[in-house]
Amino acid sequence: MTARYFVGLDVGGTAMKAGVVDDAGVPLSSVSLPTEASRGQERGLDRMCETIREAVHAAKRRLDDIDAIGVATPGLMDIAAGLIIDPPNLRPWKNVPVRRHVSAVFGKPTAFQNDANAAALGEFWAGAGKGVSSLVFFTLGTGVGGGIVLDGKVLEGRNSHGGELGHMKIEMTQPRRCGCGRLGCLEAYASATAVVKRTYEALNQPESGSSLHGVLKTTGELTARDVFTAWMGGDSLASQIVEDTAIYLAIGAMNVMHTIDPDMIVFGGGMTAAGEPFLHRIRHHVNELAFSIPAERTSVRFAQLGTDAGFIGAAACGRQLVS
């Protein structure tokens, strides 16, 4: 049997990343080009094709070697129709027929998927979830994205809203306002952006002692990384923020354990750089919060593929078309 290769493309608000991936989920190349959404969607579609070509070139393969392509994009979409609808991160794009275009240009089976769903499938196929049969993925960045993989298939949902895990409501009495406009969404508590926001609130309390005051003075602004670094250094204000974050993520995990009940829950995104000590706090709260059987048995882990998860997962979507 000839070796099979797939191209995955992950379109983000700032850059698009593509790579050739082999049949075992190993990337042979990885290239990145600026998205430049503001230049319009026609150029955007051209840029997608250009990034795919560069990925093939960088892998020292020819387009003839490629069996299928997968494209992952953010925001509001119609997955079944292969259409970007109205993505906040890709203004002014609207109703972009991504799948049809890419498929027509390359003449190959082309899959289309939500970016967080693709990343979930990437981790399932070639990352933290290797060998499990179901997985729920939370990605923690500006927002909280999510993807659900059941028996190896992405749960896309009837209206392409499957796995929008950041928009479970977890608070009614004093709900925080989410970036989506709703109140009390998990994302408003547990995203990297929310960590920073909660930190500013805490620092603005009278007599709040924290090493982060100094960091803020020096750098002019704080990042989630600063908060986790201060936590590692024993800062007590940062410790409270991180502990609360672990609780929020444990609530997200628990809600998923009591509805989907997957083999594994995977957290990805920059915050997971905090490593084992942070994962340990999340697991601690899962054990406190969830029913004992799923709490004991569900594997809770950090992602392994980093920012490659999206294009590897997109390639996996392409691969599923020809498997």
Please, are residues 64 and 48 in contact by the beta-carbon 8 Å criterion? no
Candidate segments 39-47, 63-71, 169-177, 266-274, binder of a second copy by CB under 8 A? 169-177
User: Is residue 130 a contact residue for a second copy (CB under 8 A)?
Assistant: no
Per-residue binding letters, 60-99, with a second copy (x by CB under 8 A): ----------------x-----------------------
Nearer Cβ to a second copy (216/289): 289
Q: Is 169 in the site for a second copy (CB under 8 A)?
A: yes
Backbone angles phi, psi at 208, to 5 degrees: -80, 110
The number of angstroms, rounded, from the C-alpha of 320 to the middle of its chain's C-alpha atoms is 20
Binding mask 136-155 for a second copy (x = CB under 8 A): ----------x-x-x----x
Rule CB under 8 A: is residue 113 a binding residue for a second copy? no
The least CB distance from residue 292 to a second copy, in Å, is: 10
Among 71, 298, 300, 320, binds a second copy (CB under 8 A): 298
Q: How far apart are CA 73 and CA 38, in angstroms?
A: 16
Given 202, 216, 289, 321, the residue binding a second copy (CB under 8 A): 289
The tokens for 237 are 């204000």
- For residues 263 and 132, the answer to whether their CB atoms sit within 8 Å is yes
From 65-73, 105-113, 227-235, 248-256, span contacting a second copy (CB under 8 A):
248-256
Closest approach, Cβ 13 to a second copy, in A, equals 19
Q: Is 158 in the site for a second copy (CB under 8 A)?
A: yes
List the one residue from 164, 226, 235, 308 that touches a second copy (CB under 8 A).
164
Residues 178 and 11: their CA atoms lie apart, in Å, by 23
Going across the sheet that includes 110-114, the strands are: 31-34, 15-22, 5-11, 66-73, 110-114
d(CA 56, CA 28): 9
Q: Is residue 291 within the footprint of a second copy (CB under 8 A)?
A: yes
* Closer of 89 and 211 to a second copy (Cβ): 89
Among 256, 266, 305, 316, binds a second copy (CB under 8 A): 256
Q: Which is nearer to a second copy, 47 or 285 (CB)?
A: 285
Q: What angle separates helix 236-257 from helix 224-232, to the nearest 10 degrees?
A: 110
Could you tell me if 56 and 25 are in contact, meaning their C-beta atoms sit under 8 angstroms apart? no
**Residue 202 interacts with a second copy (CB under 8 A)?**
no
Quick count: other Cβ atoms within 10 Å of Cβ 95? 11
Is 35 or 298 the residue whose CB approaches a second copy more closely?
298
Chain centroid to Cα 208, Å, comes to 33
Least separation in angstroms between CB 318 and a second copy? 22
CA–CA distance, 319 with 69 (Å, rounded to integer): 8
Q: Verify binding: residue 160, a second copy, rule CB under 8 A.
A: yes
Radius of gyration of the chain from its Cα atoms, rounded to whole angstroms = 20
Do the beta carbons of residue 106 and residue 69 sit within 8 Å? yes
Q: Which amino acid is at 188?
A: A
Which SS3 state, helix, strand or coil, does residue 188 take? Answer: helix
Give the footprint of a second copy on this chain (CB under 8 A): 76, 133-134, 146, 148, 150, 155-165, 167-174, 180, 182, 251, 254-263, 289, 291, 293-294, 297-298
